[in-house]
Amino acid sequence: MQVVMLDLKAQFVKYKSELMRAVEEVCNSQILCLGPAVERFEKEATAYCGCKYATGVSSGTDALLLSLMAAGIGPGDEVITTPFTFFATAGTVSRVGAKPVFADVDAGTFNIDPAKIEAKITKKTRAIIPVHIFGQIAQMGLIMEIARRHKLLVIEDAAQAMGATQDGKQAGSIGDIGCYSFYPTKNIGAFGDAGMVVTNNDALAEKIRLMRVHGENPRYYYRMIGGNFRMDNLQGAVLSVKLKYLDEWNKKRRDNAAIYNSMFAGTIVKPQKIEQNNVSIYHQYTITVPKRDMLQAYLSKQGIGSGIFYPQPLHIQDCFKGLGYKKGDFPAAEELTESVLSLPIYQELTPEQIEHVGKTVLEFYK
Ligand SMILES: *Cc1c(COP(=O)(O)O)cnc(C)c1O
């Protein structure tokens, strides 16, 4: 039985007529950069996330970059984040001229360990960027408490977590700013690049909207230096269709995860730990295992796809050499990069396929 890691076509064929109708409407209008479909999606997103403002942007990376710019973070500033994340989380901090400062993760949840944050705070620290890795929200209660005490801004990197909740609150809605990605492989994916920034803060929201279009207002008059961070109208239309189904898809992923969890219970295979107060959307279903690379090769030979997110922590990437970190600085993150493997989890998979993958994984350790 072949089981691929992700099959975007399986979702597209199911919703094709509804999606193509939305796409055609935008094509007919020829309103292409921002526009009514983006505005509609933003309105729906504020209701979904429980936030006052939602701003559609060009990508998840640009959501982070724009947030940092709007917060006025730049040269001389430090931003604390996790070394176990996608590159953009720290890359954008460097791009605004600030310094990424890493704090190690919890070995069980893979999220930034709140107990490791406070020791990293200096006079230069301006913000914390927790990342909700693989669709599970970082421990925001503790993080917000630390941030408030030290007057730091919290920017949630919720790129992998739209629809995840913690104590009933939506990912992205708990910190000062929340950033989402609609890259096609995310749980809610656009037809290309897209992202979103949410906030409840009036002043930040106004800056974010202005800086999305070069800081321009009125036309050809520039109040501040922004960029071109516009969302395509087409993406707004596609995302409006998909948002209606997001909770249903996320639940299907949780059902799939539950099958894996029961199969792996009490075995050598350790799934990402989900905390009591969290509902994960399983952007990835990730296990930690010994002999990870051999397991991946074995699965591949049996026609089963898998992924390594991520093979190298950020603090020892070549591009961050100047930050002065070395191997051994963040043992939990480093250990994860050598032992994590993500298994197929997308919503169109059948229970039989999930059971087949789970059985094949366990077979390898017999
Ligand atoms: C996908 C992702 C991003 C970047 O989003 P893009 O839309 O690809 O630019 C940022 N952070 C995390 C954690 C991500 O997974």
Q: Encoding tokens for residue 100?
A: 């990424």
Q: Encoding tokens for residue 130?
A: 């927790």
Residue nearest atom 14 of ligand 1, based on CA coordinates = 159
- Rounded Cα distance between 177 and 206, Å, is 13
Q: Is 314 in the pocket of ligand 1 (CB under 6 A)?
A: no
Q: How many Cβ atoms from other residues are within 10 Å of residue 62's Cβ?
A: 25
Q: Distance from the CA of 194 to the center of ligand 1, in angstroms?
A: 10
- Rounded Cα distance between 72 and 309, Å, is 31
Atom of ligand 1 nearest to the CA of 193: 7
Q: Is 60 in the pocket of ligand 1 (CB under 6 A)?
A: yes
What does the pLDDT read at residue 9?
A: 98
Q: Is 157 in the pocket of ligand 1 (CB under 6 A)?
A: yes
What does the pLDDT read at residue 85?
A: 98
- Rounded Cα distance between 29 and 96, Å, is 36
Q: 8-243: what fold?
A: Aspartate Aminotransferase; domain 2 (3.40.640)
Single-letter amino acid, residue 336: L
Q: Is 136 in the pocket of ligand 1 (CB under 6 A)?
A: no
Q: How many Cβ atoms from other residues are within 10 Å of residue 185's Cβ?
A: 14
Q: Distance from the CA of 266 to the center of ligand 1, in angstroms?
A: 33
Q: 246-364: what fold?
A: Aspartate Aminotransferase, domain 1 (3.90.1150)
- Rounded Cα distance between 265 and 168, Å, is 27
- Rounded Cα distance between 230 and 214, Å, is 10
- Rounded Cα distance between 57 and 42, Å, is 10
- Rounded Cα distance between 143 and 139, Å, is 6
CB 205 within 8 A of CB 199: yes
Q: Which residues, listed in sequence order, are joined to residue 324 by a DSSP beta bridge?
A: none
Give whole-number Cα distances, 19 to 153, 174, 243, 250, 347, in Å: 38, 31, 12, 19, 18
- Rounded Cα distance between 238 and 218, Å, is 29
Q: Distance from the CA of 181 to the center of ligand 1, in angstroms?
A: 5
Enumerate the CATH 3.90.1150.10 domain ranges in the chain, comma separated. 246-364
DSSP string for residues in 37-61: HHHHHHHHHHHHHT-SEEEEES-HH
Q: Encoding tokens for residue 131?
A: 């990342």
pLDDT tens across the length of the chain (366 residues): 999 999 999 999 999 999 999 999 999 999 999 999 999 999 999 999 999 999 999 999 999 999 999 999 999 999 999 999 999 999 999 999 999 999 999 999 999 999 999 999 999 999 999 999 999 999 999 999 999 999 999 999 999 999 999 999 999 999 999 999 999 999 999 999 999 999 999 999 999 999 999 999 999 999 999 999 999 999 999 999 999 999 999 999 999 999 999 999 999 999 999 999 999 999 999 999 999 999 999 999 999 999 999 999 999 999 999 999 999 999 999 999 999 999 999 999 999 999 999 999 999 999
DSSP state of 228: B
Enumerate the CATH 3.40.640.10 domain ranges in the chain, comma separated. 8-243
